[in-house]
Each structure stands twice: as structure tokens, then as C-alpha cells.
Chains A and B, each alone.
Chain A
Amino acid sequence: MPQFFSDNINSFNISNSFTTVDQRSEILAWLSPLEPRLRHQDIRTRRVDDVGDWLLQTDQFRSWYDVTGEDEFDKAVLFCYGNPGVGKTYMR
């Protein structure tokens, strides 16, 4: 995923080229010892394509995803609930 947000960032001042590759990975490891990416990769390989597509068409998903402006704060969280094993983790 990292390649998806390689654009500029403008809030923090950027520490141009002061960080080496080693220091970079040292800093990332310092931020947290946990690596949810590994679990994500595992789920990704087991997920069946298109299962849960309907979720993306619901009013709830759309207003959560698309909303901007004054309403955005009021629709900031989308909580999907369901019994164990119904496939929450594997939704598209």
C-alpha cells in the first residue's frame, strides 16, 4: 500500500534527506512493534472477489465515503456490525 500515498505532505515540515533507509525503518519500528500489514496480506489472499459488493452501494457507505463540508463530521464513522463469521473482515 505505501505506493498509494507517496504524494507530497504539507503539514509537517519535511526532514529532507536527513533520514537514511536504516533510520527510516528504525523510526517506523519505534512507532509501534505491531505490523497489521501482515494480517492484511493474509486476509487479502483469502478474500473472494466481489463478496460484499453490496456494502459499497448502501446509503450508509455512500454518505460516509462521499460526504464533505458541514456534514462530514457527523458522518465520520461507519460501524459495520454482525455476528461472528458472517464475513465482516472479508467484505469488499
Chain B
Amino acid sequence: MIDTLCDRARGQNVAVACFYCDFTARKEQSPTNMLGAILRQIVGGLKEIPEGIVQAFEDQKQVIGGRGLRLPEIVRMLQTISSSRRTFICVDALDECVPEYRVKLLSSLRDILQKSPGARIFLNGRPHIRGEVERRLCGKTLSLSISPNEDDIIRYLQSRLEEDTTPEAMDDALEADILESIPESISEMCVRETIPETYLSHLLIVIYLAFCWFPSRLKKSCEKQPSLVGERSSLQSPIP
């Protein structure tokens, strides 16, 4: 999404900034640090750093040990910048943020929007925070459910198959079989909703199939080339 927005923004007076919430780094991802990181990206993209920020930086150096900006100051700076240019702010995995931090982050985003109604905010997260997001942002939210469609799964599988380091073990029939049966089984699982939300995800099943189902199918097709079976199981998936 960030890349799409950046591509579309090229050559225009547009700023795009993103933040990725991460459960493992949740303590350091305070609202001040998160919005500071957004401000940092936007300011880093300008030819010159705005004087207000340079001044604030110089002023804080007078204090022993220096000190960072406070959240309201960061919000004010973001308000100023985003009212002078089209600004996109994207936050990924909002559900991984500490709940108390999320409250502050969402209300800060609302404050930014109140001053610059043209700013665009793109958020994503698990379904359970939907109500919270819509409430905190006071009904300015369009919500959209995301699930991989069959084309996405096929594209994903094709790209993994292209990266296969032992292509000699593949034949057209096996490839066709993979591209047919995996998307099918994933769709079936989605329809039956047999996947516990917090345990397995649709694409993680691809990993399971790649590591377990796939090698076993391969064993059959590679009986004459047993040495390839072991290598096949090293097929890597990019899903974290």
C-alpha cells in the first residue's frame, strides 16, 4: 500500500509516511515515538527542515541532557505540515500496539484530521479493534474486510514456485496440481471458518502445505530422484 501511494505521489506535492506496530517492540512504540517517526519521515522528505522544528531542536539543547518533543508538539507539527500538502499516514498492525498507546494514537490522528481534513489515514489490524477505531475516529472511517482471494493465492504460489531452487523436480502436472488444490483447500477452509483466529491464518496454511503436504506429494513424483526430496523441504516462505 505504501509503495502504491508513493508511486501515485511521485512528482506531486504529496507526503507519505508509515509506521509498523510490532508486538515484540510494543514498549518502545509509544504514541510519541510512533508519531515522531511519522513526522521524521515527512520532514526527512523535505528539502529543508521547517524552521519551527529547527528552532525547537536548538531550544531543547539548552536544557541539560536535551529533551525530546512532547506528543502535543508533534501533533501540532503534523497538523501544520499536513494542511499544506496532501499527506498520507499509514499504520500497520494497530492491534499489536499497547491498548493505552492505541487510544492516544487514535485520538492524536483525530486531532490531526480536525485541523487538516484532507489528510488521509490508512490503518489495518485484526477485526476486534474495528469498533474501537470507528469510535475513536468519530465516524470518519471506511472499513474494509481483507481476505486473500483465489488470484492472490495463485500469484503468491507462482512466485514461490519461480524461486524454486530445484526446478528439475517439478513437472507441469505437479505444478498444475499445486496451483489447483492449494487455493481450493484454502477457500474451503475460509468458507467453513475452521481456522481459529489466533492460531492459524490462511496463508500460514500455505506454509504448512509447502512443508508437509508438498514434500509428500513430491516424494511420489520423485521416486526415481530421492535426493531431491530433502532439498525440496527447504522451500522458504516469506510469511513471518
Contacts and interface: CB of A to CB of B under 8 A. Distances in A.
Interface of A: 1-19, 23-24, 26-28, 30-37, 39-40, 43-44, 46-56, 58, 60-61, 63-65, 68, 72-89, 91-92
Given A5-B13, A52-B152, A73-B140, A82 B93 contact: no
User: A58, A84, A88, A92 — which one has the most chain B CB atoms within 10 A of its CB?
Assistant: A84
Contact of A78 (B60, B122, B238): B122
Interface of B: 1-4, 6, 9-16, 18-20, 22, 28-29, 32-37, 39-54, 57, 60, 66, 68-69, 74, 80-81, 83-85, 92-93, 109, 113, 117-127, 129-130, 133-134, 137, 139-149, 151-152, 155-156, 159, 195, 197-198, 200-204, 238-239
A74 to B, nearest CB: 6
A84 B201 contact: yes
Given A9-B84, A78-B121, A80-B146, A14 B140 contact: no
Given A74-B140, A76-B117, A84-B201, A55 B83 contact: no
A90 to B, nearest CB: 9
Nearest to A12: B50
A55 B84 contact: no
Contacts, number: 268
Residue of B14, B113, B119, B141 with highest tally of chain A CB at under 10 A: B141
Tell me if B's interface is mostly helix, strand, loop or mixed: mixed
Contacts of A49: 155, 159
Contacts of B85: 5, 7, 9
A47 B52 CA distance: 38
A5 B45 contact: yes
A54 B148 CA distance: 10
A76 B51 contact: no
Contacts of B47: 6, 8-9, 14
Contact of A75 (B9, B49, B125, B140): B140
A81 B28 contact: no
Nearest to A61: B144
B93 to A, nearest CB: 7
